[in-house]
């Protein structure tokens, strides 16, 4: 039985949550007045990244129109781009799509269950509804805070520190209890490879949109990193520039005639019953049978983890600005580093924050007040006198 309706009446988080809890396989189509086909955006991002010339894109679109083959397949078989270029660009477009559709306030959705879903197995890995939901929640949760400092894509930043002071380190991804040191073994400033890539593009003339186009990381991830660089006083705002919109070629306009985002995802089949949307909590549902409650709790634990990681980054930014850690998490709200909603988990339980001799400890708590994973324990350099 198909599931369809309007996004205004049944929000996207509720849609993905319902489908995810049911563990259905199928095709979800989302459509609104401003939507564009994913492959058109794919071609544009490859051009902006310098991986593909506009002339070759036009040729590929003409071939696609004549053969009805996928644009990505045409580009790779014609040796216009490599298979890795295609996979990287598709990953960016997936992130962009999730980011944009979760901010829609109107539109239509249609989910058609099926035993299997066809997709380009060489270039794309289907997404689970749980993954899409978690990514959407993370982006929607963080964007209002980011937008306060980056209100427009035509903002221009300049570097505050010399590029020679930057040291590239690997991103941390530890499970459970994580002991992390904010101090480097040298006097240099440590950035992740993604942060370093963004920092190198900040030159005092390039707009935020220009940085997005040239790095290929996507709008949300680029703005999130710029936000963190701002909070760490590594870049500063210059003003506003001019973002040029590329003119669409005739071939591109033909290929754009059919609107609509299509997201395919595969999950295990599991029947669900008694799911009722709870409008009081954006991502909550009530009336779940015991079989599904574990899946729902797992999703909410993921939301809690996302908020803890955001609090951790905010505390580090506060420390860099003031030379000391905040006395309470409320200080982060006063500084505009996080929204007050971040101070609690999805069950409305305040996060545990405690100062230690060498840093701080941050974790969730259960209903009895006991510490729950993940636990973030930071060791920081001595505070400024």
Instruction: Say if residue 189 is in the same domain as residue 117.
Output: no
> Judging by DSSP bridges, how do beta strands 26-31 and 155-159 pair with one another?
unpaired
pTM of the model as a whole: 0.59
Domain range for 355: 290-378
Shared domain for 129 and 180, answered yes or no, is: no
CB atoms within 10 A of CB 20: 24
In this structure, the answer to whether residues 231 and 332 fall within a common structural domain is: no
Total Cβ atoms within 10 A of residue 6:
11
Same domain, 222 and 258: no
Asked, for residue 206, whether it belongs to a domain, the answer is yes
Q: How many domains does the chain divide into? A: 3
Same structural domain, 326 and 295: yes
* 202 shares its domain with 350: no
Q: Is residue 278 part of a domain?
A: no
Q: How many helices (H) and strands (E) does the chain have?
A: 12, 14
Crossing angle between the packed helical segments 38-48 and 54-67, to the nearest 10 degrees? 160
Residue 384 lies in a domain: no
**Residue 192: phi, psi to the nearest 5?**
-75, 165
Q: Confirm if 112 and 2 have CB atoms less than 8 A apart.
A: yes
Q: What is the pLDDT along the chain (385 residues), one digit of tens a residue?
A: 567 888 877 777 777 777 766 677 788 888 887 655 554 578 887 887 788 999 999 999 999 999 988 888 899 999 999 998 888 888 878 878 888 888 887 888 888 888 877 777 777 777 777 777 777 877 877 888 888 899 999 999 999 999 888 888 765 443 333 444 444 445 788 899 989 999 999 999 999 999 988 887 788 989 999 999 998 899 999 988 765 554 444 444 433 333 334 444 443 332 222 233 333 333 333 344 444 445 556 667 777 887 888 888 888 888 877 888 999 999 998 888 887 888 988 888 999 999 998 899 999 988 888 888 888 988 876 655 5
**Is 374 a member of any domain?**
yes
CA distances from 184 to 167, 181, 189, 321, 379 (A): 9, 8, 7, 17, 11
Q: Same structural domain for residues 341 and 360?
A: yes
Residue 284 lies in a domain: no
Tokens of 179: 């002991």
């Amino acid at each position: 039985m198909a599931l369809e309706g309007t996004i205004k009446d049944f929000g996207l988080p509720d849609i993905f949550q319902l489908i995810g809890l049911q563990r259905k396989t199928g095709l979800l189509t989302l459509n609104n007045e401003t939507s564009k086909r994913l492959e058109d955006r794919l071609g544009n991002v490859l051009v902006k990244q310098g991986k593909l010339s506009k002339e070759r894109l036009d040729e590929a679109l003409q071939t696609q129109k004549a053969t009805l083959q996928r644009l990505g397949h045409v580009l790779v078989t014609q040796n216009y781009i490599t298979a890795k270029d295609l996979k990287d660009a598709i990953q960016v477009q997936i992130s962009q799509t999730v980011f944009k559709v979760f901010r829609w306030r109107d539109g239509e959705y249609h989910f058609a269950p099926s035993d299997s879903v066809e997709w380009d197995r060489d270039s794309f890995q289907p997404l689970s509804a749980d993954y899409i939901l978690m990514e959407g929640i993370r982006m929607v949760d963080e964007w209002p805070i980011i937008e306060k400092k980056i209100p427009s894509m035509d903002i221009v930043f300049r570097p505050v520190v010399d590029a020679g002071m930057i040291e590239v380190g690997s991103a941390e991804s530890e499970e459970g209890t994580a002991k992390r040191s904010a101090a480097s073994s040298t006097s240099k400033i440590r950035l992740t490879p993604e942060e370093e890539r963004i920092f190198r593009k900040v030159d005092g003339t390039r707009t935020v949109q220009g940085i997005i186009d040239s790095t290929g990381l996507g709008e949300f991830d680029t703005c999130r990193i710029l936000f963190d660089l701002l909070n760490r006083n590594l870049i500063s705002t210059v003003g506003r520039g001019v973002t040029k919109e590329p003119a669409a070629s005739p071939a591109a306009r033909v290929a754009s005639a059919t609107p609509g985002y299509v997201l395919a995802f595969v999950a295990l089949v599991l029947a669900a019953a008694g799911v009722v949307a709870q409008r009081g909590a954006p991502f909550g549902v009530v009336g779940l049978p015991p079989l599904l409650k574990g899946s729902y709790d797992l999703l909410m634990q993921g939301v809690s983890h996302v908020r803890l990681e955001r609090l951790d980054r905010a505390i580090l930014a506060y420390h860099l600005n003031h030379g000391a850690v905040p006395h309470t998490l409320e200080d982060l709200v006063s500084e505009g580093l996080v929204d007050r909603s971040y101070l609690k988990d999805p069950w409305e339980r305040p996060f545990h924050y405690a100062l230690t001799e060498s840093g701080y400890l941050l974790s969730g708590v259960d209903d009895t007040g006991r510490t729950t994973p993940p636990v973030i324990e930071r060791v920081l350099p001595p505070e400024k006198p």
